[in-house]
């Protein structure tokens, strides 16, 4: 993006739309106040007139990015099918936007885009017989699982890109799994599946426990009681 510079000896005039646009071009993974200021041809002080420091900048850009996520809800899906689809769509979107996983982990929701995503997830489960409180817990738990797995995958991608000889080191790591003992026995017949299939496997397996514990129609109070927990327990 070309810097705006000065007009007639005066500082360039910028607005939230300019900051958002520059921030999205830089990306959440590399986002800093200084980077955006440089892209716009202004000082960081000029940005502070519009955003509340780095957190405010991240919120502005993160919410703009998150607004682009449109989760498709297939009415033919049962609860499990819907939640797997939701998890896959969320994971794919996070991986397509490096840095978004960290943004979502710090505080969620931060703004209207996050709130709309959460409300949509709750509404999809309410349509399938859930109470809103339990729907919020189930949807949030699946989202956290999907985001966490995507974050781990993103870190590995970054490692591959940033570490010379990473593929060789990865091969060495895999060889360690076959050097004998229980490690070799455990991995001898382990199928070699890709990251997409592994993600679905983990989400589906976890859903078995989640949906058994929190079936449709049960409130959060009933769920915690069934687990032998008190609502104030940490």
Span 171-210, pLDDT tens digits: 888 787 777 777 777 777 777 788 899 999 999 999 999 9
Residue 88 CB-half CA count within 13 A: 16
Residue 75 in this model has a pLDDT that exceeds 70 = yes
Mean predicted confidence (pLDDT) in 131-135: 97
CA distance 5 to 53: 22
Q: What's the gap between Cα 12 and its chain centre?
A: 35
Q: For the chain, list the strands marked E by DSSP.
A: none
Tokens of 100: 């978004």
- Closest by Cα among 202, 217, 76 to 142: 202
Percent above pLDDT 90 for the chain? 70
Q: Mind listing the domains of the chain with CATH numbers?
A: 16-66 (1.10.10.60), 79-226 (1.10.357.10)
User: Where are the alpha helices (H) located in the chain, listed in sequence order?
Assistant: 16-26, 33-40, 44-48, 53-66, 79-96, 100-106, 112-126, 132-162, 166-176, 181-187, 195-213, 220-226
pLDDT of residue 232: 58
Task: Please give the helix or strand (H or E) that residue 174 lies within, else none.
Answer: helix 166-176
Residue 87 has pLDDT above 90, yes or no: yes
Q: Give the per-residue pLDDT at 220.
A: 93
Cβ atoms < 10 Å from Cβ of 61:
26
Q: What is the mean pLDDT of the chain?
A: 88
Instruction: Enter the tokens of residue 57.
Output: 């900048």
């Amino acid at each position: 993006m070309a810097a705006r510079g000065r007009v007639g000896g005066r500082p360039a005039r910028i607005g939230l739309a300019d900051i958002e646009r520059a921030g999205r071009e830089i990306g959440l993974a590399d986002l800093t106040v200084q980077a955006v200021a440089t892209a716009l041809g202004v000082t960081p002080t000029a940005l502070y007139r519009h955003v509340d420091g780095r957190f405010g900048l991240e919120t502005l850009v993160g919410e703009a990015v998150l607004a682009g996520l449109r989760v498709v809800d297939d009415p033919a899906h049962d609860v499990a099918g819907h939640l797997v689809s939701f998890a896959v769509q969320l994971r794919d979107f996070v991986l397509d936007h490096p840095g978004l996983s960290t943004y979502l982990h710090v505080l969620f929701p931060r703004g209207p885009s996050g709130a709309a995503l959460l409300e949509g997830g709750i509404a999809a489960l309410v349509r399938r017989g859930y109470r809103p409180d339990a729907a919020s817990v189930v949807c949030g738990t699946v989202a956290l699982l999907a985001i966490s797995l995507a974050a781990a995958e993103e870190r590995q991608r970054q490692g591959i890109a940033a570490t010379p000889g990473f593929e060789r080191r990865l091969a060495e790591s895999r060889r360690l799994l076959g050097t004998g003992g229980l490690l070799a026995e455990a991995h001898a017949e382990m199928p070699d599946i890709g990251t997409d299939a592994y993600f679905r496997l983990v989400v589906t397996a976890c859903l078995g426990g989640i949906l058994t514990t929190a079936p449709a129609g049960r409130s959060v109070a009933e769920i915690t009681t069934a687990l032998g927990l008190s609502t104030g327990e940490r």
